[in-house]
Structure formats: C-alpha cells, structure tokens
Amino acid sequence: MSDHTEAPNAFLVDAAWLRRRLGEPGLRVVDVRPALAQFRSGYPWGHIPGAIYLDMQQLFAVVDGVPGKLASPATGEALLGQLGLTQADHVVVYDDAGGPLAALLAWLLDFWGQAQVSYLDGGWQAWQEEGGALTDAAPLIRPAVYRARPDENKAATTEWIAAHLDHPALALVDTRTPAEFQAGHLPGALNIPWEENVNPGLAQRYRSGTTLHRQFAELGVTPDKEVVVYCETGARSAHTYWALRLAGYPRVRNYEGSWAEWRRRGGEKPAAADAGPAAVGPCGLPSAAAEPAGAGETAGPPAGRATRDQILAQARARVPELDAYEVKERLDAREQLTVVDIRERDEWVQGHVSGAHFVPRGFLELRIEELQPQRAAPIVVYCAGGVRSLLGGRDLQAMGYTNVFSMAGGFSQWKNAGLPFVVPTVLNEERRARYSRHILIPEVGEAGQLKLLESKVLLIGAGGLGSPAALYLAAAGVGTIGIVDFDAVDLSNLQRQILHGQSDIGRPKVESAADRLREINPDVQVRAHRVLLDSSNALDIIGQYDIVLNGSDNFPTRYLVNDACVLLRKPLVDASIFIFEGQVTVYDSVAGGPCYRCLYPDPPPPGEVPSCAEAGVLGVLPGIIGSLQAMEAIKHILQIGEPLAGRLLMFDGLEMTFRTLKARRDAACPVCGDRPTVTELIDYDQFCGLPARHPVAGGNGHDAAVGMLAL
C-alpha cells in the first residue's frame, strides 16, 4: 500500500490486500496480460481466481493515421459492458509485473469516471511471489451496461496542449527513454523515464509517494503545476500519471495521443523562435529535438509573447457571445444562422446541436468558406465549454467575417439547459480508413459516404456493362447492390465480363458476382435475383432499389426496365455498346427528363440490329461505359454535379471522342408524356415482335445499339 495519505483512495493494493478481498460483491479483478502461447503465459494458463480478461488492444485503434489511439467511449462502453463491468464497481487491474498496461487501463477507467480503481502493485509477478492462488477457470460473465463519463481534466488532447504550451503552470513530462526523447519531443518537455517510478526487481513495485514526490520536485515538476505526461502511445505515461497521483499531485493529465499523434499532426520541425501562440494549431505544432531539458525551460513566456489568459481576454473582448437559449431561439425563429461545431470528432459523435456543421478547430479557416461564403452572414461557433469557440470566432473575424458569435458555455451548457441535441450516425474506424479517399473529398465527406452506404442500386445484368459498374459501386461502399441475371458464366464472357473468372464457368452469374463483390467490400449486401425479368416481377424487384443501372442486351428488357422505372419514379442509368462505340444517359422522369421511349418510341424490327454476339465488341469498351454508369449512379446518390439527364453521351473508341447530344422529353410519350397510354407493364416480347422470350443476360446476346443507328 502507498504510504502517502494524499494518494487516491486505495489505488495501490498489494497481494495480501487483494487475497482478503477476493469475492467481495462489487470488486472486479481485471487481467490485461497479453496471451503468449509459446510461453504458456497469460490469462488462459492461470490467473487470479475470479479475474476477468480484457484485451486492451480492443480499446485502441489507428485513428487518423495515429496508432494506439483510444477508441471512442462507445466502443469502450460496449467492451466493458460485455465484461460485466459497471461504473459503480471497484475495479482492480493487474498486468504481468506492474507496468504500463495495467496503469493505462487504470487511467482510462479513472478518466471515464469509475467509482474506484485499484492497481495490484507488482502485478502477476508479485501475486506469484507472495504465493497467491491461481486458477485457469474463467468466471461466469453477465453482461452489464457501462456508461463512460469522461472527466476532461484527466486527459490532455493535442489541441489542449497546443493552446497551453506557453502557460507558465504547465509541466510536460516525457516518460520515454532518453534516446527516444533526444530524437524529438514536445517543446519544453522534461524527460523522466517511467522506469524511475519503480523499485528494482522482477515485480515492478511503485516507489513510495514520498520518494516519487522528491524525484519529481527535484526536476522542477512541483505539485502547483498542471502536469501533462506523455510517451509514444500513452501507456508508459499512464504509469507516471499514477506515480504523480501517488506523490500527491492534484492536477495530472495523460496525453493519450502522445508523441505518435503530435509527430503525426505536424510537429516534426523545431519550434520557430517567433511563432506566437496564435500560430499554434493542430497542423503546425512545434516540437523540439535534442533541446537541453532543464527545469528552467518551463519558467514562463518570453517577452513579446502573450499568455493563454491574455489571448483569451483579447478574444472575449472582440467576439460577442450568445448563450445556449439565445442560439436556440434564433434557430427556432428560422433565422439563417450557420452553426459550426468546432470540437473534435470524439466529442461530436456523442451529440451535437441539430443542424450544426462539424468542422474541427484545426480546419475552421480551411472549410468555413464552403459552408458560408458570405462574410456578413451570422455564424455561431461553439465548442465544449466556450473557450475554443472564442479563439475560433477570433480567427473567423480575421478572415473578414463580421457577424460571428461564440456560444457561451458551449455544448455543455446547451446540454445542461436540457435543450435537444442529436447523436450523429458516424462511420466506424475501419470504414473511415476504407473510405478515407472519399471522405477527403468535400463533395463526398463522411455524410456522403454514409449516403452511399445506405443506398440501394439495382444492376440489370451482370455482363459487360454490369461488371465494371458493380465492381466500382461495391468498392465505393454502395450498401446494397441487387443483380438481376438469369445466365450462367460462359467462356466467351471472360473477354470483357470482369466480374467472373475461369473457375466460375458454368456458375450462375449472380453467384459469381456476389462472391466477387463481397470479396472487394464486406460492407456491401449483395442481393442476387436469378430470374428472368418480365412484366410479372419487374415492379417488385425494381421497387426495392433507389436507382437502376441497365446493362441488358435486348430490346424487350430495355423497354420493360424503362417503363417500370417511369411507373415507379426511379432514375435509370442506361447504356449500350457496339463494337467500338458506346452511349450513356440518365432517364429521370421525376426530374422532368426524357425516358427511353421519348427517344426510341418504337423498337427496331427483329434482327435488324446486330448484337455483340454477332458483331463483336472490344472488351475494354463496356469497361469504359459501365464505369460511366457507376459514376452517374454515385453522383445521383450524392446529389452532386450535373447528371446526364436530358443528355446522351456518345463515345467513339477509335476516334477517342466523347460527344453529348441534347435529349428532350416528348410530351406525347406513351409512358412519361402528358397523356400516357401505357400505365402498366405490357408484354414486351410481343411489343418488340419477338416470337420467344429471351433471358436477361448482360452482354451475351443482343447488345442494343439502336441509339447510334437510330440517331
């Protein structure tokens, strides 16, 4: 036990204490040792009786390129809940010898508001040395609901540090090895390796609070300071977080993102001598390399630099404030108010003001013009507590915005006032990585990616056109892709139908396609419709989707799909190909555009238009045209750009030209005209003068080239 009375209540416990308390209700023992099969070491090979196993790696993830970042509280809540933990429990953590891993979990629980956290001094090593019982039986776990209530005073973010770098009361402690420190560190940091927290021995027991206090104070880290500890990923520093707490330090924060994040977010270059605090931002963080670190480094701001309090006072004097109720009233009055939430992502995802735009502080100046180009328009900026928003408001004023307000008290006040807020649907870490190139595009972004994931696209045919379209739509994260095709893969398909491979010959195309698409992107739900599309089922199938891509190869299907889309008011991305030439257009009768029948009221006589099977097709041609269809579908889903509605794009592969022709709706069109005569699906084989029904098969039979011939 710690000999220091100011230590947190029973934080440090020894094996004897734990033996006495094992089995008490509300006392939960958590083992975080990594399992090492080759040494038969870890929880499955023996642990403290009643202990549960927690894989700490599940709580951490790569976030924005920074490894070892704390997962969102929601992820943590789910994991801790599955382990049967609640916030009211007294949790005792241990790792192999009393090191950073258990300290990290202890810090995390403390940060999230755990009622009581204890740490087995010396860990599993000490438990064994002191003859503690062990078992390989796992306890019965009843899942519980865990609620994290983060205490922001126990953590430091990159932004927080950047904003406080010049504050005289800030002490930055780098807990890595001297060599790591010398290779680069935060400006003004002191190097105190975490190993100095413990006594020698296999079991790493904390030094006494008194000893630790003396060690820190000798280096200038005194209890009157606000101490921020960091290392590479926040684990070793968590060990020192507790060393400081044991030493009686009242204000300690763990910088969980640590050097990995600081370096990643632009701190590679040494600090410029004249960089004032106003220049400090997440994209221009200073750092120092091989700087002699002494106690005097944090003595105070040099002359000519403003302190945090001065900066805030200046901002407060210039940026007018509105309280939460005033903002709510203005929004309720339907005032044209641009509300910008400048907090970090992990704050945003837990809830925000309805209608607010999410622009983290570091991107505020870069993105504000997209949101509100007019400099005189009213803008309300808010953060968590009303401090960052003052600085953000000041920066907007510097850009010429004249009507900027900071919301006093920030989102905390909004919530405390009981005003309504929304919790956003957001992408998880894996999806943010998978779609990162989309998310970077302002026209797509996270909101656009969510739209794609929620969208449902139907492909008519999994052949030449359907193949590239399906591949790109799946890769783009279109959440549901339906494929109608009755055909089986044939050797002659493989020259252009890139969904299928040699081993698929003889398989139904919908099956081969579904396998391929799931392999590209497991986010995609593939619905296989292995049917002959006809008047009896077209409305049912098409009705399940938001948009249809036509890759069919025959006229009955083409008219059928057109009529069904008009009747169901679904947009149709249509295309056809012939040897070296192709064409694409969008039929969107809802948007007032023409339909296929406006352009081609009557089918050609049977046999007049040669099919691909008869005339041939260059394999890459459907690759080009089908990809254009995918592009149009994605544009439609995202509602961006100019759709090809009312325009026919003609491609000539030999000339390598694209031309667009205007296409107009025909007021006398029998389907989409002013007085339609076709109000339900008809018999399309009969309409096209065909004697027998052709199956829908992408690119196998009669590729429609009527467009080029008819024009």
Partner 1 sequence: MKLDVRGEICPYPMLKAVEAMKRAPKGEAIEVITDHAPALETIPAQARRLGFQWQITETGAPEWVITLSRPAGGAQP
Q: Which residues contact 379 (CB under 8 A, 6 or more apart)?
A: 337, 338, 339, 340, 368, 372, 396, 401, 403, 404, 405
Closest contact distance (angstroms) between CB of 184 and partner 1 is 11
Nearer to partner 1, 154 or 176 (CB): 176
Closer to partner 1 by CB, 39 or 274: give it.
39
Q: Could you write out the three-class secondary structure of 196-242?
A: HHECCCCCCCECCHHHHHHHHHHCCCCCCCEEEEECCCCCHHHHHHH
Select 55 or 369, whichever has its Cβ closest to partner 1: 55
- Minimum Å gap between C-beta 266 and partner 1 is 19
In this structure, how many other beta carbons lie within 10 angstroms of the beta carbon of residue 48? 23
Half-sphere exposure of 80 (CA within 13 A, CB side): 27
CB 283 within 8 A of CB 266: yes
The Cα-based distances of 521 to 155, 272, 426, 450, 476 in angstroms read 36, 45, 18, 15, 9
- Distance from C-alpha of 707 to C-alpha of 86, rounded to nearest angstrom: 67
Which residues are near partner 1 by CB under 8 A?
A: 33-34, 36, 38-39, 41, 57, 67-68, 95-97, 99-101, 104, 176-177, 179-180, 193, 195, 200, 202, 231-233, 235-236, 260
| Phi, psi for 217 (deg, rounded to 5) | -65, -35
Secondary structure (DSSP) of 535-574: TTTHHHHHTT-SEEEE---SHHHHHHHHHHHHHHT--EEE
- CB closer to partner 1 out of 57 and 536: 57
Phi, then psi, of 489 in degrees rounded to 5: -70, 135
For Cα atoms 515, 516, 521, give the angle at the middle one, nearest 5 degrees.
Answer: 100
The helix-helix angle for 364-371 and 388-398 (nearest 10°) equals 70
Cα separation, 550 vs 562, in Å, equals 9
Token output for 642: 């100019």
- For the CB of residue 259, give the shortest distance to partner 1 in the complex, in Å: 8
| Degrees to nearest 5, angle at CA 293 with 291 and 295 | 150
Q: Could you tell me which residues come within 8 angstroms of residue 336 by beta carbon, excluding any fewer than 6 positions away?
A: 377, 378
- Dig out the tokens for 465 from the structure: 């056109």
CB of 119 to partner 1, least distance (A): 15
Which residue matches tokens 């921020």? 228
Length of the chain: 711
Contact yes or no for 574/584 (Cβ under 8 A): yes
Q: Nearest distance from residue 103's CB to partner 1, in Å?
A: 10
Distance separating alpha carbons of residues 283 and 296, to the nearest angstrom: 27
